Amino acid sequence: MKKASLRGIQMAYDVEGSGPAVVLLHGFPFNRSMWSEQVAALSDAYRVITPDLRGFGQTSAAPEQQEQPATMREMAEDVAALLDELDIERFALGGLSMGGYVALAFYRSFPLRVRALILADTRPQSDTDEARENRERQARQATSEGMEGIAEAMLPKMLSPATIKERKEVVERLRAMMTGTDPHAAAAALRGMAERPDHTYLLARILAPTLIMVGSEDQVTPLTDAQVMQREIRGSRLEVIEGAGHVSNMERPSEFNHVLRDFLDALQP
Ligand code: MLT
Task: Please give the number of the atom of ligand 1 that sits closest to the Cα of 220.
Answer: 5
The verdict on the CB of residue 155 being under 6 Å from ligand 1 is no
126's enclosing H/E stretch is none
Structure confidence by residue, pLDDT tens digits, 140-170: 999 999 999 999 999 999 999 999 999 999 9
- The CATH fold assigned to 2-265 is Rossmann fold (3.40.50)
Q: What is the pLDDT of residue 65?
A: 64
**pLDDT, average across residues 193-202:** 98
Which residue's CA is the closest to the ligand 1 atom numbered 7?
A: 98
Structure confidence by residue, pLDDT tens digits, 24-58: 999 999 999 999 999 999 999 999 999 999 999 99
Q: What is the pLDDT of residue 64?
A: 73
CA dihedral sign, ordered 44, 28, 171, 32: positive
Q: Is 0.95 surpassed by the pTM of this model?
A: yes
Query: How far is 165 from 99, CA to CA, in rounded Å?
Result: 26
How far apart are the CA of 27 and the centre of ligand 1, in A?
6
* Torsion (CA) 59, 133, 163, 29 in degrees, nearest 10: 0
